[in-house]
Structures are given as structure tokens and as C-alpha cells.
Amino acid sequence: MYLDTPIGEIRVFIEGKNVVEILMPGWRTDISPGMQEDFAYAGKVEKAFYAYFDASSAKKTKIAYKNLVELCIPKDRKFDSPKFHQEVYKALVDDVPTGSTISYGELAELAGNPKAARAVGTAMRKNPLPIIVPCHRVLPSSGGVGRYMGEGDDGEKIKRWLLTHEGVNLKAIR
């Protein structure tokens, strides 16, 4: 499914009642476009994404994000990723609330390996569900917002938009 959003067109791939991948504007995938969607579920996902993007305050964005996560990440869901990446994704979703940020090192510690900040960076670049698994909330400890999934200026613009939309004060980020 294609969604026209304030950050550009994103594509959401659904298989049955699972969101399996989200492509941000300009990204490519190896996933076949012929996947089987449950149309009722896809309609709910579409509404949940638009509620997130259309939220008019940080409080409403937080509620919309929570609903999106509950719909798209079942409690028993395992990502098709290495175990450490799964721990990183779980920690990011469960422990880094909307409107806040975390460093790569802090996220590594939350995921159980405080020396694995670089591995967290790899997990962020391979995140199959950006926005839902909010890799945009992870910032370099050296300052600034950093890149977004390895993308250049456009990726940084998207990251800044998402952070601002969620209520992060970018002026406070050195």
C-alpha cells in the first residue's frame, strides 16, 4: 500500500495481518509487490498511519503512535533479524517514548550489550519497520541528529520532521 505523507510517499508491505516492511521515500526493496494483504487489516493500518501523521499535537502523536505499534507489532512478533537486532528493536519500541531520544550507546545498553553501539547503528540501518520501530529517535552522542537509515540530506530532513512532529525540541540538541 502507498501512503502520501508529509515526509513523502511511503510504501507499506503487508502479508496477511503483518506489516513486514516499510519503505521511506526513495527507498527500494526486494519484496515482491504481489504479497497477499488482508484488506480489512490493511485499511486499519492505513488509518493508523494517517492518524499518526495527521496528529496536531505531541500528545495526539503519542496516542496515535501507541495505536500504530499495537496494531503492527503483535507481542509475540519476531523480526527476521539477528537476535541482537531484535533486542534493539524491542528496547527502542518499549523503552524510548514518543517525544524523547536516545544515543546509540544508551540503546546498546538497554538491549543488553553496552559495548555494541556500532551494532545498534547496523540494526537501525536494517530496521524493516521505520516509524513503528522508531529509529529516528536514536541520535549520535557526538551531537546533532545524525543520518536517517544511511540516507543523506533527505534522510536528515525526514528524521528532523519526525522528531519535531513527536515533540522533540531540536534546538536543545547540540
Who has greater pLDDT, 38 or 101? 101
pLDDT tens for 26-78 read: 776 666 555 666 788 999 999 999 999 999 999 999 999 999 999 998 777 77
pLDDT of res. 102:
96
pLDDT of res. 173:
79
Rounded to two decimals, the pTM is 0.90
Q: How far apart are CA 12 and CA 21, in angstroms?
A: 6
> What does pLDDT average to over the chain?
88
DSSP-based three-state secondary structure for 47: helix
Q: Is 72 a catalytic residue?
A: no
Which structural domains are found in the chain, ordered by start? 2-172 (1.10.10.10)
DSSP-based three-state secondary structure for 52: helix
pLDDT of res. 146:
85
Q: How far apart are CA 64 and CA 58, in angstroms?
A: 10
Predicted confidence (pLDDT) at residue 81 exceeds the cutoff of 70: yes
Among residues 12, 72, 110, 135, the one annotated as catalytic is 135
pLDDT tens for 8-23 read: 999 998 888 889 889 8
pLDDT of res. 28:
67
DSSP-based three-state secondary structure for 46: helix
pLDDT tens for 127-147 read: 999 999 999 999 998 888 888
